[in-house]
């Protein structure tokens, strides 16, 4: 099925939860990131009759409002990963930052140096980790900007393309990092903030939101994020507020049993290893 089902190791996480050694073909389109639209990339072509496997009822409702159908709520791969790796919390220190990023087909326009200064001013004298998307991490001018200002700069890996080059442990790396930090911040709402809130970190949204080159108007930009989730756009979001939003958007209460998930993904004929 669609290669995006394997972004960030999502299919592999679901296979682990189902007790399988590897990820078979998923029967449908799996949501691979959070957005304020329909749960999928703009312009994503769907073959009629195949289900849209989304993280939560909140995502499905946004899709229904756009006139789309065939939504099936299965819960997010991240929420299943938390089931696979519970109770690993240890000492937390400092802040990890996830700046708004583009992707292979669209680049970000913004002032990384000014953003680094604003983060340092607001976060204070604490250890700072800057996590960049791989295509920004591979640009020395971006990576070095943060390193010169005292950030530890990392990337969780690559999501891959057409089944090639993806790091299947991407989310495992991210979970390990999030559980090490007290705060998770960004200049825009995104999956990473929801993931951070889901593991008990304090989150915050502030700073120049930057812009995406040739952004799609249908997404509504920063204005739509502010309308949809005004309570999340503050430097320090109360943990109970952030936790509730994360649980709703990630489908924490919508998780299926391994047998149910195998059915939804078209994996019923696959058996667990002995």
Please indicate, yes or no, whether residues 70 and 129 belong to a single structural domain of this protein. no
Dihedral sign of CA atoms 132, 37, 47, 77 in order = positive
- Tell me whether residue 143 is in a domain: yes
Domain hosting 129: range is 95-249
Q: Please state the domain count of the chain.
A: 2
Quick one: 127 and 213 in the same domain?
yes
Give me the pLDDT at residue 162, please. Answer: 61
Per-residue model confidence (pLDDT) at position 127: 98
157 located within any domain: yes
- Reported as half-sphere exposure (CB side, CA atoms, 13 A), residue 98 has a value of 23
**Which pLDDT tens digits describe the chain residue by residue (274 residues)?**
688 899 999 999 999 999 999 999 999 999 999 988 888 876 677 888 899 999 999 999 999 988 889 999 999 999 999 999 998 878 999 999 999 865 565 566 678 999 999 999 999 999 999 999 988 899 999 999 999 999 999 999 997 766 667 899 999 999 999 999 999 999 999 999 999 999 999 999 999 877 665 554 455 567 888 888 999 999 999 999 999 999 999 999 999 999 999 999 999 876 554 3
Is 150 inside any structural domain? yes
- Closest-CA residue to 135 (of 168, 111, 104): 104
Q: Are residues 145 and 68 in the same domain?
A: no
Q: State residue 216's pLDDT score.
A: 46
Q: What is the pLDDT of residue 274?
A: 38
DSSP letter at 255 equals P
- Within a domain: 182: yes
Read off the pTM: 0.92
CATH number of the CATH domain containing 169: 3.40.50
Shared-domain flag, residues 152 and 49: no
Query: 245 with 255, same domain?
Result: no
Same domain, 185 and 223: yes
| Rg of the chain in Å (alpha carbons) | 18
Pairwise CA distance, residues 50 & 66, whole Å: 18
127 and 59 in a common domain? no
Q: Please report whether residue 273 resides in a domain.
A: no
Residues 132 and 235 in one domain: yes
Is there a single domain that holds both residue 126 and residue 100?
yes
- Asked whether residue 104 falls in the same domain as residue 133, the answer is yes
């Amino acid at each position: 099925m669609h290669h995006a089902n394997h972004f960030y190791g999502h299919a592999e996480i679901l296979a682990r939860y189902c007790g399988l050694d590897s990820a078979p073909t998923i029967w449908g389109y799996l949501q691979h990131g959070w957005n304020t639209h329909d749960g999928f990339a703009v312009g994503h072509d769907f073959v009629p009759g195949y289900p849209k496997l989304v993280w939560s009822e909140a995502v499905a409702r946004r899709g229904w409002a756009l006139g789309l159908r065939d939504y099936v709520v299965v819960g997010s791969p991240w929420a299943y990963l938390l089931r696979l790796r519970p109770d690993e919390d240890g000492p937390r220190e400092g802040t990890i930052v996830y700046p708004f990023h583009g992707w292979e087909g669209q680049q970000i326009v913004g002032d990384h140096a000014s953003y680094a200064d604003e983060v340092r001013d607001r976060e204070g004298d604490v250890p700072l980790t800057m996590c960049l998307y791989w295509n920004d991490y591979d640009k020395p001018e971006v990576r070095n900007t943060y390193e010169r200002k005292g950030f530890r700069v990392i990337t969780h890996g690559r999501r891959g393309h057409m089944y090639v080059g993806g790091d299947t442990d991407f989310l495992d790396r991210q979970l390990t990092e999030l559980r090490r930090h007290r705060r998770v911040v960004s200049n825009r709402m995104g999956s990473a903030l929801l993931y951070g809130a889901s593991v008990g970190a304090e989150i915050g949204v502030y700073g120049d939101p930057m812009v995406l080159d040739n952004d799609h108007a249908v997404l509504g930009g920063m204005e739509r994020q502010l309308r949809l989730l005004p309570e999340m756009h503050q430097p320090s979001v109360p943990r109970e507020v952030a936790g509730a939003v994360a649980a709703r958007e990630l489908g924490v209460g919508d998780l299926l049993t391994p047998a149910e998930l195998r059915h939804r993904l078209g994996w019923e004929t696959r058996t667990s290893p002995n």
